[in-house]
Amino acid sequence: MAFVQGAHTWYGATLAAEEINRAGGIQVGDRRYRIELLRVDTNEMLSVTDAATAVERAITAQRVDFLVGGFRSEAVLAMTEVAADYKRIFIFTGAGLDGILAGRVDRNYERFKYLFRVSPNRSSDLARTSLLLLGEVVQAVRQQLGIPRPKVAILAERAAWADPLVETATRLIAAPPPQGYGAEVAGTWRPSAVATDVTSELTAIQRAGAQVIYTVLSGPVGVPFGRDWGRLRIPAAPVGINVEAQQETWLKATDNLGNYVATLSSLAPGVAITPKTIPFITSFQARFKEFPIYTASGAYGALYVLADALNRAGTLDVEAVVKALEATDLVGPSGRIVFDKTHDVTWGPGFTTGLGVQWVGNRMQAFWPRNWRVGDKVISYAGVRPYQLPPWVVEAWRR
């Protein structure tokens, strides 16, 4: 809870609980229940041991019935072992590592059937979406700057969830179209997720001649990245994942140097992914005076998923609730939530994919999906605008 990822998890869950309780609570069989939230600080950004201990204390001493949250994948792996030991349903809303579910729920169902993920999409799906965003920027460099084979630097925090994204990006950036981007990997840099300065990485990226930086950043390092990139006027356009740039406070946090940074996000101002998107954003901003990041919409959706499953199960019996959760088909603020056989949220058009957002003119605006073709479908949302290259990148590289 000391970081924005945890704070927004709490805010999203709080908003959902208040709405559900105000509407009369959860109908389970012939009884109605009100949701009581218990705030648990896992310290998972800094200590896996602390995270596992916090979950065990919540279950044994504070006697929680369900767990919602989790952010750092390494810590969530440890926390889910504890949840499985005590047969507690744990819906996580912040960790992306595929292996938290894949290879566990499908291979050892009886032990891990209590685990579900609402957000984000798993790392391999995050790679798919963030690489689609990268493709937009590579194409802009190619078309607007006249560079047929752009150089892409990979800047990814040292964390387990980021590893498959680095591997996939390295392979696809250099692969020829249509499978890849026909670009060149300028190098890979892996700073700490809690680094406070990335000047050395950025100057090395500039020396490598990159025109694009593919970012894979979920921790606090995202802020110094944006600040140092803008301060040094690095002539390479950043795009990928930077969770800190999903916040409304991004420009203030980066001393107004984070304009033109682009990131994958779950929401954008004024863009209705589903009929529940705008009402959620409006209620969240009215209640907490901030724009919600993905852990907020994830926790909000998780509470509704759980309430819906309890209602359909008609009992608090954990085995029946697991079965009801597996049959979930519910529309949340960020998309339609349907679990696959590993209990992971389904990725793709009509389900959840996320948005590409960019800071332009001191405001966040969406630039993807815009005419995204998938088979015979074309996916677009009203309010999505074209991506804009940073002016100093254009000045440095236009031929």
Q: Residues with Cβ < 8 Å from 211, sequence gap 6 or more?
A: 141, 145, 147, 150, 151, 152, 235, 236, 237, 393, 397
**pTM (predicted TM-score):** 0.87
- Looking only at the bridges linking them, the beta strands covering 262-265 and 237-242 are unpaired
pLDDT by residue, tens only, the chain of 399 residues: 667 888 999 999 999 999 999 999 999 999 999 999 999 998 887 888 999 999 999 999 999 999 999 988 889 999 999 999 999 999 999 988 999 999 999 999 999 999 999 999 998 899 899 999 999 999 999 999 999 999 999 999 998 889 989 999 999 999 998 889 999 999 999 999 999 999 999 999 999 999 999 999 988 999 999 999 999 999 999 999 998 998 888 999 999 999 999 999 999 999 999 999 999 999 999 999 999 999 999 999 999 999 999 999 999 999 999 999 999 999 999 999 999 999 999 999 889 999 999 999 989 999 999 989 888 888 899 999 999 999 999 999 987
